[in-house]
Structure 1
Amino acid sequence: MARPATEELRRRNRAALLEQLHRHGPQTRAELTEALGLNRSTIGGLAADLSESGHLQETTGRSTGSAGRPSTLVECVAKSVSVAAVELRFDRVRFALTGLGGEVLDRGELPLEASAGADAAAAATASLLDGAEVAEAVAAVPGLVSGGVVGHSSELGWDGTDLGAALAEATGRKWRVTDAATAGAVGEWSRGDAGEARNLMYLHGGRGLTAGIAVEGRARPGSSIQLGHIVVEPGGRECRCGMRGCLEAEMGAFGFTEAIETTTVAADLGDTKAREALRRSGQYLGRALGAVVTAVGPDEILFGGWLRELYLSSAAAVRSALAETTLPQLRSGLRLRTPALGAEGPLIGAAETGFEAIIDEMR
């Protein structure tokens, strides 16, 4: 009989093997041996266990380039475990059913009425899910999230809304709820090109401005940051939240959701008003980032949603304002850029949040 400590170690190694293949795709046993630091016989035993449970399979893989047979690859069985992920936006619900290994098995989208409540969003989600059996279900929402409750969302017009309860009622299962910016950070670290970042910040631009953080790919506790409600102009314009001088109010963030493309094109054609609007918005954004960088100390910042276009058009203003409001030590190694996954980041990150929970339960 295996001792408890031995069985615990084997369980952790199984989870590590599954995580490696889920994140990095099919690999040979030799590659797995090197990646996980385990001997080949241990890898063989773990792979056999996970093949028996239906999680993995071995296939004829890549050619060695010699006359010998192609090497055998170990890979995930996508349909063995699936996660339901949804992303809520002000006008729609986006859905993806994702299998082990990151393969998208199904996707869909339904419109939402303006100012729709949690019950309407949950009903649309239930329709998209259509009774599918999933191991985890995760919803990404633009706003301040704690547990299943959306404390504040400028984009959705929600305050203190228990989305988790509404989703559970509509679908008959428990949901994890995360903010879209944090989901974006997790997605870019897991499936984009930000896997080297230790402390990754993702900015989400919709009908509101939020930020989220992933530390080595995991959502940082309490990482929902209301970027749009950092005061950048004391006593400035009145914000919808009731304060004055918030980033969202000073930038006119709500209008930029629809107008960013028109504004950037006009600026490229020489429109001085458009250029000034972009420069001023970039400056305000840089000021707000200065406060967040000072508090959090990220090593990489990604500009998602319509903030991507704003950053590409006003990078100099953003960087200049950021330099004026942060210590040199905090920005010396800081990288600012746009996301590799584009608009898909938050939805992919929601799915990866679910797989993280599944693999953690295996340890």
Structure 2
Amino acid sequence: MARTGTEELRRRNRAALVEQLHRHGPQTRAELTEALGLNRSTIGALAADLAEAGYVQETTGRSTGSAGRPSTLAECVPKAATVTAVEIRVDRVRFALVGLGGEVLERAETALDGADPVDAIEVVTGGTARDALEAVAAVPGLVDAGEVAHSTELGWAGRDLAGDLASATGREWQVVDTATAAAVGEWSRGDAHEATKLLYLHGGRGLTAGLVVDGLAPRGGSIQLGHIVVQPGGRECACGLRGCLEAEMEVFGYAEDIEYATLAAGMGDAAARDGLRRSGEDLGRALGAVVTATGPDEILFGGWLRELYLSAAAPVRSALAETTLPHLRSRLRLRTPVLGDEGALIGAAETGFATVVDRMR
């Protein structure tokens, strides 16, 4: 029993060291000792073990600034473990083969003529690396347990995408929504790692949101932001309801014309300014419901919502304040993401690496 416990502890420590190097880059043994709370001899043994397994290599690293030898750095071997990350959009599929440590080893993009799921699956199948340890696809919409329950942008409903991809490629797939993937990316590789609950809003040809908690996506964190009713009895939405955020904001027009709208408003166009104000207010009201339900401490505005927020931050914040309890909004930070369009692809890869590390434990 004691031996089993020792082996389990060693596995956990190995996984913790790999995770530390993957997330934070090359480090000295002294830095690893401090970060993981283990003694230097244990770190040395773990590093040697992982080097023999091919996951880690040690190199002569940074100078200490004294007459002594430079410190030895432990770092990930990128090709030791790879993840295929895919982002499916209505007009294209983007691919990245990402190595341990976050290095992008390969990148590609293929155009789609519409969002026919059969065509999309065929494109994904052709671009998937067969030797990757994990494969993760990000799609815009409401996703639960591998199923695309609803996607305004793709026009899909009740699509078992994980099952379709598994049948086509002969391997298991994880499927996450674009907003959640981008949230994971911003937390892991952006500058949002201090957020306990991070809410990412994605504007495409639909409006979605994703919630991550301490960098992980809980089940149920995929949110159909665009189908929160902000004007009861308002405009008819394609989903069958009335007054949905997507309908009231006329998101298809915004997705195509947001740059023109913001430019016109900046040049004094009263109609453009009024449209941005009303859209900001509607977005703020929808956010009020989401913030009340989830209690995030940071919100990022991605996709074309970035441009809307930069142009209409005041009405967004004002409407949010009118629909949210004071203690929820007092700690809330609203801003734009730093990874831009790369967030979803990076987050899909990081979702896969979280599974890789979990399997090492």
Aligned to 2:59: 59
C-alpha deviation, 1:255, in angstroms: 1.3
Separation of aligned partners in 2, 1:219 and 1:21: 21
**Alignment correspondent of 2:20:** 20
Are 2:165 and 1:183 aligned?
A: no
Correspondence 1:125 to 2:132: no
Query: Aligned to 2:201, which of 196, 200, 203?
Result: 203
Deviations 1:189-230 (A, max 9, x none): 000000000011101110000111110000022111000000
Q: Can you list the C-alpha shifts for 1:36-80, whole angstroms capped at 9, x where unaligned?
A: 110000101111111111000001111112222211100000000
- In angstroms, what is the RMSD of aligned CA positions? 1.0
Residue aligning to 2:150? 152
Amino acid at match of 1:119: V
CA offset digits 1:260-283 (Å, max 9, x no partner)? 111111111111111111111110
Q: Which amino acid aligns with 1:47?
A: A
Which deviations, in whole Å up to 9, do the C-alpha atoms of 1:62-102 show, x marking residues without a partner? Answer: 11122222111000000000000001111110111000000
Moved more, 231-240 or 160-169: 160-169
What is the aligned partner in structure 2 of residue 101 from structure 1? Answer: 101
2:31 aligned residue: 31
In the alignment, residue 172 of structure 1 is paired with which amino acid?
Answer: G
Partners of 1:268 and 1:128 lie apart in 2 by: 42
Q: Which residue of 2 aligns with 1:9?
A: 9
Q: Is the 8 A contact 1:199 1:299 kept in 2?
A: yes
So what's the TM-score if we normalise by structure 1? 0.98
8 Å CA contact 1:118, 1:166 repeated in 2: no
Structure 1 CA distance for aligned equivalents of residues 258 and 267 of structure 2: 14
Secondary structure of 1:3 counterpart: helix
Q: Which amino acid aligns with 2:119?
A: A
Report the identity percentage. Answer: 73
Which one-letter code corresponds to 1:348 in the other structure?
A: I
The match for 2:299 is: 301
1:42 counterpart residue number:
42
Q: CA deviation at 1:2?
A: 6.3
User: What per-residue deviation string (whole Å, max 9, x for no partner) do you get for residues 299-320 of structure 1?
Assistant: 0000011101100000000000
Shift of 1:254: 1.4
Could you tell which deviates more after superposition, 50-59 or 119-128? 119-128
Q: Distance in 2 between matches of 1:173 and 1:271?
A: 53
Count, aligned residues:
361
- Residue 346 of structure 1 pairs with residue 356 of structure 2: no
For the residues of structure 2 that align with 1:215 and 1:140, how far apart are their CA atoms?
Answer: 18
- In the TM superposition, 1:213-362 aligns within 5 A as 213-362=211-360
Unaligned 5+ residue runs, structure 2?
none
Where does 1:85-96 land on structure 2 (aligned, <5 Å)?
A: 85-96=85-96
Q: Deviations over 1:122-174 (max 9, x none)?
A: 11112222x53100000001111112210100000001112112212222211
Extract unaligned runs of 5+ from structure 1. none
* Corresponding residue SS for 2:222: coil
Give, in whole Å, the separation in 2 of the partners of 1:348 and 1:87: 10
Aligned match of 2:110: 110
Distance (whole Å) between structure 2 residues aligned to residue 122 and residue 175 of structure 1: 12
- TM-score scaled to structure 2, two decimals? 0.98
Deviations, residues 213-255 of structure 1 (Å, cap 9, x unaligned): 1100000221110000000000000001010000000001111
- The equivalent residue for 2:84 is 84
CA contact (8 A) 2:141 2:148 kept: yes
Whether the 8 Å contact between 1:136 and 1:175 is mirrored in structure 2 is: yes
Q: State the distance in 1 between where 2:21 and 2:75 align.
A: 6
Distance 1:263 1:65 in 2: 54
User: Pick from 192, 214, 221: which aligns with 1:194?
Assistant: 192
Query: Runs of 4+ in structure 1 displaced over 3 angstroms?
Result: none
CA–CA distance in 1 between the matches of 2:178 and 2:354? 16
Counting only pairs closer than 5 Å after superposition, residues 136-147 of structure 1 correspond to structure 2 as 136-147=134-145
Partners of 1:200 and 1:215 within 8 A in 2: yes
Look up the equivalent residue of 1:240 and give its one-letter code.
A
Looking at structure 2, the residues matched to 67 and 276 of structure 1 have their Cα atoms a distance apart, in angstroms, of 66
CA contact (8 A) 2:144 2:219 kept: no
> Using the alignment, how far apart are the partners of 1:294 and 1:212 within structure 2?
15
